[in-house]
Amino acid sequence: MRYSFFGTCFNDYSLLYECLNTILKQTISPNEIILVNSGDINIEKEIQKKINSTKVKLIYIHEKLSRVKSLNLALNKSTSKFSFRFDTRSRFACDYAENALNILSNKEINASVVGGVPFIVSNQNKFESNLCAEIMKRSYVFFFPKHRNKFYNGYSSSLYLGCFYTSILKKIQFNEKKALLSEDSLIINDFLEKGYKAYISSNIKLSYVSRSSLRNIFKLFHTYGFCRSNTILISKKLFISKRHFFVFFAAVIISLILLKISVLYLMFMPFLLIVFNVYCEIIFHKKELNLFVPICGTLCQFFWVAGFLWSLVSMFRTKQLRSNFIS
């Protein structure tokens, strides 16, 4: 079956080469690799050297674009039946494509986009880098979404990257509305609204290289919050999944209880969140217990809230951010 890998890079291109190595080691080779580079340095020659010994075709575009427009430009160059998305931090098991193609071809599952849950890895054997990876591994920091449960098999409202039917993805496209920061859940939401199914399989194995500094992890969560607010504003859906509803409902109920006692008691909200995170760390991660993780995870959650609120404020700004490339 013919398929393509398509993706983007920015000034984090140094991470791209290892990603390409894992793409080229697939048990079923891709027909083509399509890359839109929005960074400052042209790396076409370096990539071509890696591909020269294979039959894989390289389609390389060096153009300064937002991430969403870069993705659509890369997608529109695809000539294959299936298109698999990659980014610089993704690393694929050698049977990633084979398993994804098998699931996409499974008529009983009848999914138009499939994906796997990435295993988070650190690119440096240092305390801060390892801590960042551990934070990203903890599903409780994200309030237990399906797409962060490595044992989950089934339909989902969000997934990482995605393996798509090209014709359907070209028809839907990544949303380029003004000031939108792209996120995986929005494209999947668009698929679901059109009646298509998204499926996660534990057989589709891949890794994700975590950012190595807490500063960049905090920036990432700030962007996640920004993205979520934009998704709500554009999709007109407050809750894309049941998880969003339950988290929102719990936050409102706890706030009302504290307000009923006293407005001052709202200051206990951060404390309750830390208690929740520490409890989950102890219960679910006994063998790798690290109390720095829930504490820093709580800070990440507050940066998420800050990003969400900042998106609402940004609606009234004349100059708005249009790219979510984060180093």
Q: What is the pLDDT of residue 318?
A: 45
In the predicted structure, residue 250 carries a pLDDT above the cut 90:
no
Among residues 18, 14, 13, which one has the least CA distance to residue 36? 13
pLDDT exceeds 50 at position 276: yes
Whether the pLDDT of residue 159 is over 80: the answer is yes
For residue 38, give the 3-state DSSP assignment: coil
Token pair recorded at residue 85:
């998305």
Q: What is the pLDDT confidence band of residue 1, given thresholds at 50, 70 and 90?
A: confident
Mean pLDDT calculated for residue range 305-315? 80
At 266 the pLDDT is 64
Question: Mean of the pLDDT values across residues 186-198?
Answer: 89
Sequence ranges of the domains in the chain: 3-235
Taking CA atoms, 6 is separated from 129, 152, 224, in Å, by 28, 25, 22
Give the C-alpha separation, 203 to 114, whole Å.
Answer: 11
φ/ψ of 182, rounded to 5, equals -65, 145
The 10s digit of each residue's pLDDT in 121-133 is 998 889 999 999 9
Q: Measuring CA to CA, how many Å separate 84 from each of 34, 81, 128, 269?
A: 10, 10, 32, 41
Report the pLDDT value the prediction gives residue 181, as an integer from 0 to 100.
Answer: 53
Residue pair 32/80 in contact (Cβ under 8 Å)? The answer is: yes
Mean pLDDT, rounded, for 7-25: 91
* Helix extents (H) in the chain: 16-24, 44-51, 67-76, 96-104, 127-137, 166-172, 184-193, 214-235, 242-261, 269-284, 292-314
Give me the architecture of the 3-235 domain, per CATH. Alpha-Beta Complex (3.90)
Q: Tokens 């996409």: give the residue.
A: 104
Neighbours of 85 (CB within 10 A): 24
* pLDDT classification of 158: cutoffs 50, 70, 90: confident
Sign of the torsion formed by the C-alpha atoms of 314, 141, 88 and 126: positive
Structure tokens at 167: 């014709």
Q: Of how many residues is the chain composed?
A: 327
Residue 108 has pLDDT above 70, yes or no: yes
Instruction: Report residue 73 as tokens.
Output: 């430009």
The band of 241, judged by pLDDT with boundaries at 50, 70 and 90, is low
Integer distance in angstroms from the first to the last C-alpha of the chain? 35
pTM of the predicted model as reported, rounded to 2 decimal places: 0.84
What's the angle, vertex CA 86, arms to CA 314 and CA 37, rounded to 5? 70
Can you tell me the distance from the alpha carbon of 52 to that of 92, in angstroms, rounded to the nearest whole number?
Answer: 20
Interval 49-92: pLDDT, tens: 989 888 999 999 999 988 888 999 999 999 999 999 999 999 99
* φ, ψ dihedrals at 54, nearest 5°: -115, 175
pLDDT of 240 over the 60 cut: no
Task: Taking residues 300-314, report their average pLDDT.
Answer: 85
Long-range Cβ pairs for the range 51-56 (8 Å, 24+): 51/20, 51/24, 54/24, 54/29, 55/29, 56/24, 56/29, 56/30, 56/31, 56/32
The amino acid present at 108, given as its one-letter code, is E
At residue 110, the pLDDT reads 95
Q: What is the mean pLDDT of residues 218-232?
A: 83
pLDDT computed for residue 327 by the predictor: 45
pLDDT at 38 over 60: yes
Cα–Cα dist 245/247, whole Å: 6
C-alpha span between 279 and 277 (Å, rounded): 5
Residue 154, SS3 per DSSP: strand
Which DSSP string corresponds to 95-109? THHHHHHHHHT-TTT
Mean pLDDT over 244-266 rounds to 71
In this predicted structure, the answer to whether residue 189 has a pLDDT above a threshold of 80 is yes
CA 256 centroid distance within chain: 33
